[in-house]
Amino acid sequence: MNKKIISIFVSMLLCVTVFTVTGAVNIENTGIMKSQAVTTDIFWEDNFDNYTLGPLHGQGGWESWDNNPDTTGYVTDNQSRSPSNSAEIAWFGDPLVSGDIVYQFSGVSSGSWILTAWQYVPSDMEGKSYYLLLNTYQHGGPYGWSLQLEVDATAGRISDFDNPDDWLPLITDDWAEIRVEINFDIDLQTAYYNDEELVSKAWGPTKNLGCIDLYADQSYSSSVYYDDFVLEGIVGEDPDLYCEGELHFGNVPGGATLEDSFTVQNIGGPDSLLDWEVVKEPSWGTWTFDPESGNDLPPGSPVTVQVTVVAPKQKDEYAGTIKIENKENPDDNCIIDVSMTTPRSQPYLYLQFFERLIQRFPVLELIFSHLLG
């Protein structure tokens, strides 16, 4: 019967011939920043302890949004993490006005930074309040937001306003740390809440920390307190390897030559020089890299590595890794996952389908034989 099935199937292919082989290669960077000798320099810090109790606007560089003193936050001793003052953000005044106060920065536009703040949310808080980082700010505009953390008393959570699925349970009646690690060189920020990662995402096209903004929402919200701000710049003494790239190929038959690229960067100290090389590639396929190594790469000068691979002729699923290392420090490396699929041709799959179909419905063999003479 198998011969008849094959004969029927081949005859059908004379009418319709389909042959499709699809391949896919994915390269994903998994090594972001490896260990290197680093130090941190404190660029700015504020604990409000030397300020006069009352409006915060005009003290220590703090200014109300758009320089409107009516929206000031307040210096208070109702709560404090380090004795004896903190900043209070709420709706104030008669009539009530939303507190909205900023601290502007200059020169925070490259390299890596860590901004730490401590936040106290009373358990009886009402409404919402925001901890905001802007990349662009001037009184009266323009404005550009990079991070918007929303404190929601009703929901009992703190979340990324732009990505509401990124949230953590809100800590109340205690001080909780908000720490944001920013790397302008690779356009990445990661926000932590009480040492748990809350959100990690791009900073945005404007590589600059324009200001901190403490905002009590457009609807009524009661008091939230802040204390012990610290902004630290990370000063790297050594080179630091970073790789980035993503390759996708489709409709690729076995034996095809595929081309794409990824980048290698030095995100280490400003005076560092990186020596790097590709030290591992998948055991399947034929791989070439141009260049496959480099010396004396300074920060801010990414190198594009052209990748060429000849896909295996055997139809199968493949997986492997490409590894790039810092020649002077093997622990500083990028591991890139690679996968490729070259499935069996569709005619072979159709043959299996028709064989199973005729085995289940034997009468089809007679019908097809009659139709094909």
Tally of CB atoms within 10 A around 218: 10
- Which residue, of 214, 236, 258, is where some domain finishes? 236
For residue 129, what are the β-bridge partners? 151
In a domain, 358, yes or no: no
Amino acid found at 2: N
| 84 and 59 fall within a common domain | yes
| 248 and 270 fall within a common domain | yes
Q: Quick check: helix, strand or coil at residue 350? A: helix
| 159 and 306 fall within a common domain | no
In a domain, 105, yes or no: yes
| 55 and 203 fall within a common domain | yes
| 120 and 144 fall within a common domain | yes
- Which residue, of 177, 202, 236, is where some domain finishes? 236
CATH code of residue 184: 2.60.120.200
Distance of alpha carbon 242 from alpha carbon 324, whole angstroms: 9
Distance of alpha carbon 309 from alpha carbon 312, whole angstroms: 9
The burial class, CB within 10 Å (0-12 / 13-18 / 19+), for 317 is exposed
Distance of alpha carbon 74 from alpha carbon 93, whole angstroms: 11
Please tell me the total count of domains within the chain. Answer: 2
| 61 and 102 fall within a common domain | yes
| 283 and 216 fall within a common domain | no
CATH code of residue 326: 2.60.40.10
In a domain, 14, yes or no: no
Q: Quick check: helix, strand or coil at residue 10? A: helix
In a domain, 88, yes or no: yes
| 176 and 232 fall within a common domain | yes
Q: Which pLDDT tens digit goes with each residue over 150-163?
A: 999 999 999 999 99
DSSP 8-state class, residue 66: G
- Which residue, of 236, 271, 305, is where some domain finishes? 236
The model's pTM is 0.65
In a domain, 19, yes or no: no
Q: Quick check: helix, strand or coil at residue 24? A: coil
| 231 and 322 fall within a common domain | no
| 123 and 174 fall within a common domain | yes
| 192 and 283 fall within a common domain | no
Site of tokens 């290669």: 25
In a domain, 368, yes or no: no
User: Are residues 239 and 220 in contact, defined by beta-carbon separation less than 8 angstroms?
Assistant: no
In a domain, 277, yes or no: yes
**Residue 238 has what pLDDT?**
86
Range of the domain at 218: 38-236
In a domain, 227, yes or no: yes
| 215 and 254 fall within a common domain | no
Per-residue pLDDT of the chain in tens (373 residues, 90 and over written 9)? 554 444 444 444 433 333 333 344 444 443 333 444 456 789 999 999 999 999 999 999 999 999 999 999 999 999 999 999 999 999 999 899 999 999 999 989 988 999 999 999 999 999 999 999 999 999 999 999 999 999 999 999 999 999 999 999 999 999 999 999 999 988 999 999 999 999 999 999 999 999 999 999 999 999 999 999 999 997 667 899 999 887 677 667 888 898 889 999 998 877 889 999 999 999 989 999 999 999 999 988 899 999 999 988 888 888 888 999 999 999 999 988 888 777 655 554 555 566 666 777 777 677 767 666 6
